[in-house]
Amino acid sequence: MPALPSDLCTRPSVGDVARLAGVSPATVSRAFNAPALLVPQTLERVQRAANQLGYQPYGLARSLRRRRSMVLGIVMPSLRYAYFAGTLELLQNILAREGYTLLVSSANHDPQTELDGVRAMMAQGVDGVILFGRPLHDESALLLARRGVPHLRCWAAMPDEPSVAFDHGAAMADVVGHLLALGHQRMAVVIPFVALADRFRGRLTAIRETLASHGLALPPKAVIDDGGLDAPAGRAAFRTLQDRGVRATAVICSNDLIAAGVILECRSQGLKVPEDLSVTGYNDSALAGAFEPAITSVETPVDLHAREVARVMLAALRDGQPFPLVRLPTQLRVRASTGRAP
């Protein structure tokens, strides 16, 4: 059997990539360890040469030199919802370009599963952990702090905890203010706090406080706090409101799918949106603008969220910068699903 050519028997080296790309070995190292330091054209040449040769940096050696694992953990409340999955995908792509692997744990809204995920990541020696959303288990963040593991909460903020989050309370106050300006005084809320394991219910508090500032109240029977987060859940929630005798002129929903379900149930009963009932969603998904009628929704940009989480985490790990408290802006997108109160 003839011997294999030497270039097929040996692992491609940094020098091989450098010669093919026409750059120095140091530039090749920067391309994999600190790509932001290179101009895009040079980075592209190095990546093209590496792909052509099948070169992969030896991750263990890199991590030993840096005394880092180059692995980050993220604990997600669930992967079933498009917003969560979309944020995770973008965040993973950003971190991969910076040389990091993202280890994912999904809690499925279960507190013990969240804590077990945190413990598993610590056992893997991750460089840091991202906690997505409101805490499910009180010990999760405390355990990371006691062990000195850098951690950052995102999407929703907690007091005295480093986070990159939207101000969901202010966003809900904007929604209520918009409906009040249209003359609505009888409102209902569909936010499945039970399914989300959201013990804090900050969005509901913001809604009640905004109404109270105008001398209005939200009756307990006008709050649907259990159920799913999809369109069938929205349809069921609206039927429950009717069964309870709630005669709201506006329904505030925790996402666009639930809002779509409420609108579909109204349509099936011969009610018109927004003439008979105004409906609002949340997250401003692609569905919100494409639905008929288009859904008034709160924009919480996925790309802005992912970029800021990555920026803050990398600045802390690479440069030793302290974790800040970052509040991301939201925007109320007014569309055809809200109108004057009947």
For residue range 176-228, list pLDDT tens digits in order.
999 999 999 999 999 999 988 888 999 999 999 999 999 999 999 999 999 99
So what's the pLDDT on residue 292? 97
Alpha carbon distance 63, 58 (integer Å): 9
User: What distances in angstroms separate CA 304 from CA 135, 295, 301, 307, one per listed residue?
Assistant: 22, 22, 5, 5
Rg (CA), the chain: 25
CB-CB contact of 234 with 228 (8 Å) = no
Residue type, 334: V
Instruction: Collapse the DSSP code of 328 into the 3-class scheme (helix H, G, I; strand E, B; otherwise coil) and give the result.
Output: strand
| Residues constituting the chain | 342
pTM score = 0.80
| Residue 79: count of CB within 10 angstroms of its CB | 12
- The CATH architecture to which 69-166+301-330 belongs is 3-Layer(aba) Sandwich (3.40)
CATH of domain 168-300: 3.40.50.2300
CB-CB contact of 36 with 68 (8 Å) = no
- CATH fold match for the domains 6-52 and 69-166+301-330: no
So what's the pLDDT on residue 196? 87
So what's the pLDDT on residue 1? 31
Q: Which CATH number fits domain 6-52: 1.10.238, 3.40.50, 1.10.260, 3.30.160?
A: 1.10.260
So what's the pLDDT on residue 37? 74
CB-CB contact of 309 with 166 (8 Å) = no
Please list the ranges in the chain whose pLDDT falls under 50: 1-9, 59-65
So what's the pLDDT on residue 9? 47
b/e map of 17-37 (b: 16 or more CB within 10 Å)? bbebbebeeebbbbbbeebee
As beta bridge partners, residue 187 has: 250
| Residue 75: count of CB within 10 angstroms of its CB | 29
Instruction: Collapse the DSSP code of 26 into the 3-class scheme (helix H, G, I; strand E, B; otherwise coil) and give the result.
Output: helix
User: What distances in angstroms separate CA 89 from CA 76, 265, 304, 305, one per listed residue?
Assistant: 12, 33, 13, 12
So what's the pLDDT on residue 40? 83
Q: Write down the domain spans for the chain.
A: 6-52, 69-166+301-330, 168-300
